[in-house]
Amino acid sequence: MNAMIVISAHDNVATALEPLEPGTTISAGGMTLAIGDRIPRGHKVALRPIARGEVVVKYGSTIGTAVSDIAAGAHVHTHNVESGRGRGDQARAGLPEAGA
């Protein structure tokens, strides 16, 4: 079993199939990735640097927008990615929607 899986060639994240430890190097889908954070099983890791405001892509489609700069090998989750959908909190605050 591979330690991580890349679902679509368009994706900028992979899914960890095992817990990944910082300082290790993982190979999958023809690429090698130096892991920067502890990545729990089933969570996502950045395949390349993702700048703040850039979309995060999995299954070949947008799953949200980076709210901070994300380094290759970093954990990608709710702390650095926000959904652009159903954000009544942002509408109320008069802020633009993420990704808008």
Sign of the C-alpha dihedral computed for residues 89, 95, 96 and 99 taken in this order = negative
Complex with other proteins: residue 19 or 22, whichever CB lies closer: 19
Rounded Cα distance between 16 and 20, Å, is 7
Given the rule CB under 8 A, which residues bind other proteins? 1, 5, 7, 15-17, 40-44, 56, 58-59, 61-64, 76-78, 81-92
Complex with other proteins: residue 24 or 62, whichever CB lies closer: 62
Nearest distance in Å: CB 89, other proteins? 4
How many C-beta neighbours within 10 Å does residue 35 have?
21
Nearest distance in Å: CB 63, other proteins? 4
Rounded Cα distance between 28 and 39, Å, is 15
Assigned token pair, 32 = 């090698």
Complex with other proteins: residue 33 or 64, whichever CB lies closer: 64
